[in-house]
Structure 1
Amino acid sequence: MNKKYQVFISSTYEDLKEERDQAIKAVLEMGHIPVGMEMFSAGDEEQWQLIARQIEATDYYVIIVGHRYGSETDEGISYTEKEYDYAKECGVPTLGFVIDNKALWPHDKTDNDTIKKDKLDLFKTKVKSKLVHFWSSKEDLHGKVSISLIKTMNTHPRIGWTRSDEAIGPEITKEISRLSTENANLRKEIEKFKKISDKQANKTGEVARIMFENTRTVYVREESGINWEDCDKYKTELFSIFNYIAPSLINEGSNLRIAQDIALNLHGTSYYQNIPIPTNTISDIIADFVALDVIEPSRKKHAVSDKEKYWTLTNFGRDFIKSARRSALESRRNDEESEQKIINDD
């Protein structure tokens, strides 16, 4: 069955309209269903019950945090934080995206009130207690939302939704019909976003999805003469393979260097230096990355006697690996901060 996931997108509203649009666009490009608080009026308790129902029915929850805390309930908590707390209470997987403090940001979209700023800092700390990503622009956010959702959907699949003619039982048909009705106004707005030309951001999410969904089986040889069938075998995603070889291709790397980088990351240092991986496997992997427009033949000159083939990253490949590695660095930084917080609390 073609499963679709419901993704609840939460943030303060006026200051993050364009960023929310990018997150909604990323979800739509993946073929899933975005929902959010803009469908309802925030100050109405009856409307909160509708929002709560949407969160309860949500498969994944995306929280985007900028430099404003947002409008507050009578209890003194922002509606954004109230939505986040309720999603965690319901056990919905949450994906946090917090603005990088170094990012350029308009002054009129920043809280200046001391109390608001203190509440915002506490809320950011709460969000960062789990894995988060830091973003610096709406385009940067678009790519990171796409990559994070793809990874989370692959590693933590949820119930999701299916077409009524594929599902079993009338209850699912009824629920999908209800959801379609409630999302009618939002879908009209989404049509506007589909026309926005943002090819680079679209391409990043699409290439990441393809890399995550495609795996390759790789044999690694330890010594000369051993049959490939007797070698250690590894199955890994194209996304991981690209991360293995990309650092060497920032300048340029040969077919052999690419094979050695893959062997080192999969097997360790005890691989056969000359032909660690079958040449046809390396050729297929290179062809895949050429098709995805992340690598291309190097234009640097080499000695006539040098028969090696050399490759380098395309401009898109450089942007793609920068985004992927920055995301990994930010995740690692958050893990270290969380670990240090636990140590300090102890």
Structure 2
Amino acid sequence: MLKYQIFVSSTYEDLKPERDQVIKAILEMGHIPVGMEMFSAGDEQQWDVIKKQIDQSDYYVVLIAHRYGSMDGTISYTEKEYDYALSQGLPTLGFILDEDVVDWPEEWKENNNDIHKRLEAFRSKVSNKMVDFWKNADDLYGKCAIALMKAFSTHPREGWVRASSSAHVTEMTEEIMRLSRENGKLRTDLEQIKAIRITSESEKINQLIDALRFNKRNVYLWSYTDSKWNGPNNTNLLQIFELVAPDLLDEASDRTLADSISLGFGSLNNGRLEWPVPMNFIKAYLADFVSLDLVDNSTKRHSVKDTQAYWSLTELGKQVRGSIRKNELLKGLANSPSEPDGNGNSKKEEMA
């Protein structure tokens, strides 16, 4: 029986159940699904592997919902795979989430306007070819199976056969052995690349920690008993980052960050209620952290009446904060809260 290899492309985290249903449909039809979940986005050699898998496939299936996916420059890997499949003349089948579906999780939707425009342009591009619209994973399962059956009939491909059915068993066996060796070499190369990347990322984090440590800053405080700014307290960006990072793991406003710095340098709850640290200093610290790609605007929604600015750690910021905290814990230098405050939150340790 002739078996077709079918490449399944999509964003990954948001479409796991849907991918599973498509793969299930392909397997139940007796064909071979291929996906690239096992490869991490961004490897130069990864794209060579993807192209080879597409070259060896007979059909290409793409699933689209509300995420554009990991990007290589200005284009997502999903769209890059789609364009390559078209360039190689593969029959492509697109399956796009129906616009009438209103209960799609918010966390699986693009909230960046520029990226959203790229996603819409990609949808339009896919809609110019064979395309169908689905409402849920079960609906996608049925529509994918029907569309593939039609494609097999209207666009027959070379496919694959059992070695015992071929007159060139020896040649095919040698080719399989060659591919197996090549696959083993690629896996070894990928492991080496991953090891190099881990080392490179570790060096980058250490460079950022050094940059925070070497950049000196002043902190001024205004307590309840003061009639003017008190200071300066000499410190550096690293100490300031350590004070505000716990709040930024989720999100925090400018004023919350001012309170955290005041608690770190002052006498616990001795700071005045509004801006115990100068607002322009808080903005300057944040500008430094943003420049180092440690902090960015929070993407959470707030009431239109809430005029405060909210901030969160970037993924890099979380890595830097985690590295600092890990080193402190390993050396037994990590501070812990001294006592609960009046709001049920723990008071932070004062800085020496």
Q: Could you say which structure has the larger radius of gyration?
A: 2
- Asked which structure has the greater RCO (Cα within 8 Å, sep 6+), the reply is 1
TM-score by length of 2: 0.49
TM-score (norm. length: structure 1): 0.50
